[in-house]
Amino acid sequence: MAAEPSPPPSTRPDSAEAGSAPDTRDAPSGARTPQQRGTGTAPRTRTRWRGPGAWPRGLRPDLAVVAAAGALVTAAVVIGGAIEREHGTLRVHWPPYYAHLEPHLGPGTPAALLVAGAVLGYGPALAARLRWRRLLPAVWLASMAWIWSLAMVDGWHRGVENQLTSAYEYLQEIDRFADAGAALRTFTDHILLHSPDNWVPHVAGHPPAAVLTFVGLDRVGLGGGPWASAWVITVGASAAAAVLVALRALTDEEHARRAAPFLVLAPTAVWVGVSADGYFTAVAAWALALLALAARSGTGAVRAPRAVAFAAGLLFGLTCYLSYGLTLCALLGLTVLALSRTLRPLPWVLAGVAVVAAGFTLAGFNWWEGYRLLTERYYEGAARIRPYSYWVWGNVACAVTAAGPAAVAGARRALVSAARTGRQAAVRLRARQPGGELAAAGPDSRARLAAVVAAAVLTIAVADLSGMSKAETERIWLPFLTWLLPAAALLPRRGARYWLAAQAATALAVNHLLLTGW
């Protein structure tokens, strides 16, 4: 059995679901690929339109999956509202979101519209033309502007100052860490609901690195809600730059640049500003970015890959001590190593993780004991009555809202591409062809991007099926959802601004129609 033949690269349209462009991530700027040499001009890759009313290849399935996502969200709202009114078991005010339905405008509304308009008008061109070293800080600053403007839609006090000072949040427990050593040694004694002086929900629900971050800010004179929110937004916005770094190392610069505007105008920004999960997202993203750099070989490889791998391990270790559930980032890390086809960084990464784990263990905190007690407390609280039968798909409705329609459509293409690549690899292995193990050049850049997105989908699926995330996944899954956003780079170039506008419209609609809890 042989793999299905595919059209030659020079005739395959840009909107094809599985890209076939040769890998040029390490080629010097302006260099032409072997397929382009001798032709005089580069092959046309723009989608060909076949007259009025014609559809570019693959657009119908894209729109269909977006429509299905919309139907899923509608069903989650309608059915969830009925369940909550009749039984009160979902424990959220406007299912499936942890939010109130409260249409409103705010001081951030004009700023949000201005940022969205600027990115729509100039973002794709700037992403294509700016020098790489300038693009990264530009994306970070643009993402920060988008997050701040959305947060300010709810006003300064409600949207920023008081977001991390509620009765559920980390700042409520700052005073109990006057003796940080004693607090760490007895941390697990206060996790269960019936334990004396039990921690507030967010402190009890996370390892101590989360609350220690805000304790540290307080110790250096940056205490209180405004500084905590500024920290979360500033650090959280850097996740967009981290994803770009990883994409360039794993795929190529072109796909990273195409993804840049979508990483800025992401609906996930609604929940990055401001929840501590935005901060967690950035730490996890930089861990994966450093791992991708450490695993890269050839032109563009870092000078000290072992040191970079060790730094990635330190951040992976910190990630695990910020949130128990973020251990699932290991699936994304393994994907990075698989795409790079090397295990060289792994010992150094594990060494970095071990340093962080040893530090917390020697300080008196037992991660495994904390996780066991958290699971017990989880089912002592709202999770005990929240029905799995609703949240196992209601969570997905939250996820597609936070990721946005462009990410949903791109993820469909990524899954199709990943499935096709897997089938072709299986055919080669069964036929025992020389390329059966892996072609010398490996999968092309679009296939590698598709693999990263597919790994993010798998990570979300594992988190969902585990039952340890019932509700609030629009913020809890931010570290995973961020890796769905680059899927938009798999969509056709023609029409990219429409998809980008859909992303911005989703974020603006959510922030102006709902008063979110984060």
pLDDT per residue as tens digits for the range 426-435 = 777 776 555 4
Whether residue 41 is contained in a domain is answered as no
pLDDT (0 to 100) of residue 427: 79
What is each CA distance from 20 to 6, 64, 443, in whole angstroms? Answer: 9, 24, 9
Unique residue bearing structure tokens 């629009």: 474
The widest CA-to-CA distance across the chain, in whole angstroms, is 77
The answer to whether position 220 is within a domain reads yes
pLDDT value for 383: 86
Residue 358 lies in a domain: yes
Direct distance between the N- and C-terminal alpha carbons of the chain, in angstroms, rounded to an integer = 53
CA 481 to chain centre: 3
Cα separation, 463 vs 466, whole angstroms: 5
Q: How many CA atoms, within 13 angstroms, populate the side-chain half-sphere of residue 493?
A: 15
51 within some domain: no
Domain that holds residue 173: 107-386+416-427+442-468+477-486
pLDDT in tens, 468-508: 889 999 999 999 999 999 999 999 999 999 999 999 999 99
Q: What is the pLDDT of residue 31?
A: 43
Residue 74 lies in a domain: no
217: amino acid identity, one letter = L
Model pLDDT, residue 434: 53
**Which portions of the chain are predicted below pLDDT 50?**
1-54, 435-441
Residue 130 lies in a domain: yes
- Structural tokens at position 35: 């397929």
User: In whole angstroms, what is the distance from residue 183 CA to residue 419 CA?
Assistant: 49
Tokens read off for 502: 């859909």
What is the number of structural domains in the chain? 1
Q: What's the CA gap between 356 and 306, in Å, rounded?
A: 17
| Count of residues making up the chain | 518
Least Cα distance to 158 among 273, 266, 235, 267 occurs for: 273
Predicted local distance difference test score (pLDDT) of residue 17: 40
What tokens were used for 293? 């750099």
Distances (CA, A) of 493 to 13, 59, 115: 11, 12, 22
DSSP 8-state class, residue 421: H
Classify each residue of 41-71 as buried b or exposed e, where b means 16 or more C-beta atoms within 10 Å of its C-beta: eeeebebeeeeeeeebbbbeebeebbeebee
Contact call for residues 145 and 138 (beta carbons, < 8 A): no
Please tell me whether residue 515 adopts helix, strand or coil conformation.
strand
Structure tokens belonging to residue 158: 């409600």
Q: For tokens 């920060």, what's the residue? A: 144
Per-residue pLDDT at 48: 46
Peptide linkage before 274 cis (omega within 30 of 0) = yes
Does the residue 1 lie in any domain? no
Q: Residue 451 falls within a domain, yes or no?
A: yes
**CA atoms of 396 and 384, how far apart (whole Å):** 20
Question: Cα dihedral angle (447, 451, 453, 459), rounded to 10 degrees?
Answer: 170
